[in-house]
Each structure stands twice: as structure tokens, then as C-alpha cells.
Amino acid sequence: MADPKRGLYEVLITEALDEQLSRLGGSLRALEAADRIALHLARVVERAIKAIDERERAAIGIDLARRLVDMIRTLPLANELATERPVGLGEVLHGIVGRLPDGRPDAIVEPLIPLLDTTLLTNAARRVAHSEY
């Protein structure tokens, strides 16, 4: 992180940032710990996985996720977390279809933008009238 500027922050203090802040006080509050630590780890893991060669990214990322869950399973919630390890090479559930009255599977059309994307649609070329929904 560049030299910290005056302002509000909500980032976990890393060793590098701690060195910069050594003259100042502050600590992680117990009520915020889970959220702040999880957010920090998510960012670190994302950066690490993005740095892996694209051809190996899924396999190595899933292996990392499985190992992290194995470590987490040693904590008090071990019974609840026992089945949270990803399977295979990162298989993703895209939907569960029902059955039509005649027994055929009911189709679900996937959206053009994945559900987890944070794409913001703005400045659309045309407006969609309510009757077009």
C-alpha cells in the first residue's frame, strides 16, 4: 500500500501497513474480526490465484481452496464445515431444473451476465418498455 493518506479506511492491517503505521495506535475489534479477516483473505487469495498461469489456475485454485478448508475444519465449527471442500476441478452449479407436467425437464435460460458478476448496466442505447419484459 502506498503511504497512507488522511481519511477513513476499512482494511486489515498487514505487516507492510503496520510498519507504516507504527507511530499510530489501533487494533481490530472482536466484533469486526470475522468480516475484516475474511475480506482480507479473500483479496489475498484472489490475487494469488489470478497470478497462476491460466492453464493451471482452476486446478491449483481448487487445490488451495480444499487445503484452506482442511485447515479451517480444525476450528470449533469443524462438524459444520466438514463438507465445504470444493469437488473436482471447480465444478459450478448453474441451476436446478424442475419437471414439466409431462415429465420433461423444465428449461432455465442462463442470463448473459453471470450471477456473480458485478457488472453495472448504464447508459443503455435504448429503453426497454414494460411490455417487453
Q: Is residue 1 in a domain?
A: no
Q: How far apart are CA 13 and CA 26, in angstroms?
A: 9
> Beta-carbon neighbour count of residue 7 at 10 Å?
5
| Range(s) of the domain holding residue 107 | 15-132
Is the pLDDT higher at 119 or at 13? 13
- pLDDT value at position 47? 95
H or E element that contains 32: helix 30-50
Flag whether 5 is in a domain. Answer: no
pLDDT of residue 131: 42
Looking at the predicted structure, is the pLDDT value of residue 34 above 50? yes
The confidence band for 53, taking pLDDT boundaries of 50, 70 and 90, is very high
Can you read off the three cell numbers belonging to residue 64? 488451495
Q: Which percentage of the chain shows pLDDT scores above 90?
A: 23
Q: Is residue 118 part of a domain?
A: yes
Neighbouring-strand partners of residue 105: 99
**What is the number of structural domains in the chain?**
1
Q: How far is CA 85 from the centre of its chain?
A: 15
